[in-house]
Chains A and B, each alone.
Chain A
């Protein structure tokens, strides 16, 4: 039962030939610059969300005084104003970013490691073992993750950790398919046959030979997926999972704010803009890295 490199293509991590040709043709994906700008943007966003609240003057995002409810922007001490219960909006934006980024990172990391291993093992072993693993993965792909997400929210209660579990449901099978397809391509190469014939142990094959070679594709996929996972987290907030208020995440800020958008659009606009900028950065970074690895 073959799964074809279609997986690599549709995930956007594969096309090598055309990428090289495009790079030669127009020079626009010139490796360094295509990577540096988005990398700086990503680093800046991370710095702002993770480091600045520790070292800079940022009030806590929850526990605000209700006497400060709904202050407008540029009020003393709250340069983006406050939310309806008195929490500082700038702080909510930063801590919300931290929550959304943490979730996306964790989900992609789990996908990368767990999904990557599963897929590599399946692709390398082949045969009935491969088939069984793929069928089990198919169950998870065919299962509407939404049902699981809502079920987790209702059964276990919404929390950042549960959101990560629910979203890993999307990322692990997808990553496994990528990993498997990449492994299949790799399997045919001579150095692999040589290693096998010389009696390399199974774990060493997987970790020592396969993993390093499929890592670029997996990593690119993980980066490209950051954006979609952050957007999915927002979608989950709309249906009741996601980070539970009052702790902010960009997703739940958008979901909460949209119910009063006519009265006060900034509660939606700020997290939406932040989310957009972050997603663009990750997408650009992923594409830049992919092009760079191609032209090497």
Chain B
């Protein structure tokens, strides 16, 4: 039986073939990779849409399956009740579809009415008057009137949930008539309407349904007045919705069925889209996959609004010394990271506002820009600089941290990097001895969502800065009603941060919304800034095209 090769030898031979194949594939893989690092679109601006924005006539009907990133937008472990959904800001797609919104952010970054028609500040911004659209009904037939809003808001604010907006102490919430809600606070808040945009106050649940179903059942199958109603809900896996026949806007929604599915990561989403398992993906955030996505689908870059920043703990060594902080500024070349890791797709910023959001200015006077020689000399003066640097674990953050580590090394700074889960992250801050953390700060409106206050206010346990002057600027920016005044105050805050070298800013990471050809919608194939992280498409206006 001499012709029969021994199995072990054959296996060894097959193994060698594999090695050869590996080397060959290593060559083949290179061509697709180089396109990302040599992409020449320099610095995105808020209005650029890289999509072939479909402008076909909307077709009524059809079933759409939308993917959401597991662990973030694709996670709703505590159910979908606005008062208790701790993941509300991430789950905005699901919440908006079921409940609709009082106000929504539309194409171009304008706040437009949906279930409410206007929000007016009174008494210097300590009171806000919300006017509701008359004649609204929840999908169970009961009226969505001011009383329902009042009971919702009281319930929302009473529950421990970080999905609440950060407001000055609320004195009263009343309904002077059936379409007017008055909310009164102890101090002025100029950003209230913007703050609603990803807060649970924006979603109104049917009080009758909560009472009759009980809270436990309600959170699994909620009832609202939005364009869709719940058919079935498997927590953090699949949410199946169907058209609400009693939706207030006639002719909407276009879709008959809308299903949200969780996906493990951007790569799985790509595969699911390619195999026909879904038709849209909200929040694709891996820059190296963009060209692959673009070659198959309508991929629209959504302007980002939260820049990455490096938080420095000014209360503990080594960064209680302003020279050490400045060294970090001088050693950080944000532009080269943008270029090498992200193909120059993002806009380097110097403050906590970004091109996609409000109050953006590209240059902050007094900002210490990259200067390797200055960095080196400061480090030498200090006699060396060692940094413990940490952040939340994620593949993008992993690469980011490593890049910063090697950049800082050139200035003589020795960095050890750590990536933690959420609990580990909080533990680090609790020790008060942390040194540097990579985070994001700011939002579309710096007072909305979380970020600016959490990173820079003295009373925040996660802040590295304890400076009453900065507090006054940040809180003042929120309190003022006049947008021009707010703009000026936030500018001053950015300059103050730069002057004290409290922490350099890098660039915001945009995300992309993806749809197969033949699907269109605001926020999906057009550009809407994200309020905090992801853009929220207006699902009632999403449709297949003729």
* Chain A residues near B (Cβ < 8 Å): 28, 33-34, 37-38, 41, 62-67, 69-74, 80-81, 84-86, 89, 154, 157, 240, 244-246, 256, 258-267, 269-270, 273-274, 276-277, 280-281, 284, 288
Contacts and interface: CB of A to CB of B under 8 A. Distances in A.
Given A34-B8, A245-B398, A258-B267, A41 B15 contact: yes
B286 interface: yes
Contact of B36 (A65, A73, A263): A263
27 contacts: A37-B9, A66-B402, A66-B407, A67-B336, A72-B29, A72-B31, A72-B33, A72-B34, A85-B402, A154-B424, A157-B424, A245-B398, A259-B265, A260-B266, A260-B289, A263-B292, A265-B25, A266-B29, A269-B25, A269-B29, A270-B22, A273-B22, A276-B18, A277-B18, A277-B19, A280-B15, A284-B11
Given A245-B398, A277-B15, A260 B32 contact: no
Interface in B375-428: 393, 395, 398-399, 402-403, 405-407, 409, 417-419, 421, 423-424
Interface string B17-30: 01101110111111
A34 B270 CA distance: 44
A192 B292 CA distance: 68
A270 B8 contact: no
Contacts of A70: 33-34, 36-37, 288, 340
B216 to A, nearest CB: 27
Contacts of A28: 6-7
Contacts of B170: none
Nearest to A27: B1
- Majority secondary structure, B binding face: helix
Contacts of B417: 246
Contacts, number: 142
A37 B22 contact: no
B424 A273 contact: no
Q: Which of A85, A246, A267 has the most CB of B within 10 A?
A: A85
A73 B28 CA distance: 9
Contact of B26 (A37, A81, A84, A260): A81
Nearest to B11: A280
Nearest to A277: B15
A73 B418 CA distance: 30
Contacts of A62: 402
Nearest to B340: A69
Interface in B274-309: 286, 288-289, 291-292
A267 B31 CA distance: 14
Contact of A284 (B8, B336, B337): B8
B424 A66 contact: no
Given A66-B341, A259-B266, A259-B267, 7 more contacts: A28-B7, A63-B405, A72-B34, A80-B26, A262-B289, A264-B33, A277-B18
Interface of B: 6-9, 11-12, 15, 18-19, 21-23, 25-34, 36-37, 265-267, 270-271, 286, 288-289, 291-292, 336-337, 340-341, 393, 395, 398-399, 402-403, 405-407, 409, 417-419, 421, 423-424
Contacts of B393: 240
A41 to B, nearest CB: 6
A182 B336 CA distance: 62
Contacts of A258: 267
B142 to A, nearest CB: 45
Contacts of A274: 22
Contacts of A281: 15
Given A37-B9, A73-B23, A266-B26, A64 B406 contact: yes
Contacts of B37: 69-70
Given A28-B6, A154-B424, A85 B341 contact: yes
A276 B341 CA distance: 30
Nearest to A80: B26
Contacts of B23: 73, 80
Contacts of A240: 393, 421
Contacts of A263: 32-33, 36, 288-289, 291-292
Nearest to A150: B421
A15 to B, nearest CB: 18
Contacts of B22: 266, 269-270, 273-274
A90 B402 CA distance: 18
Q: Which 8 A-B pairs have the closest CB atoms?
A: A72-B30, A266-B29, A73-B26, A69-B340, A273-B22, A277-B15, A85-B402, A266-B26
B292 A66 contact: no
A33 B8 contact: yes
Contacts of A269: 22, 25-26, 29
A66 B33 contact: no
A266 B266 CA distance: 18
A154 B420 CA distance: 8
Contact of B288 (A157, A256, A264): A264
Given A256-B398, A266-B25, A273-B22, A85 B403 contact: yes
Nearest to A244: B419
Contacts of B402: 62, 66, 85, 245-246
Contact of B406 (A34, A86, A244, A261): A86
Given A260-B286, A273-B21, A288-B8, A66 B421 contact: no
B288 A260 contact: yes
A84 B30 contact: no
A28 B409 CA distance: 58
Contact of A37 (B8, B286, B291): B8
A64 B36 CA distance: 19
Contacts of A81: 26, 30
A220 to B, nearest CB: 16
A285 to B, nearest CB: 9
Contacts of A273: 18-19, 21-22
Contact of A264 (B21, B32, B399, B405): B32
A85 B18 CA distance: 26
B416 to A, nearest CB: 11
Contacts of B406: 63-66, 85-86
A155 to B, nearest CB: 9
Nearest to B266: A259
A84 B6 contact: no
Q: Which of B18, B266, B423 has the most CB of A within 10 A?
A: B18
A258 B393 CA distance: 16
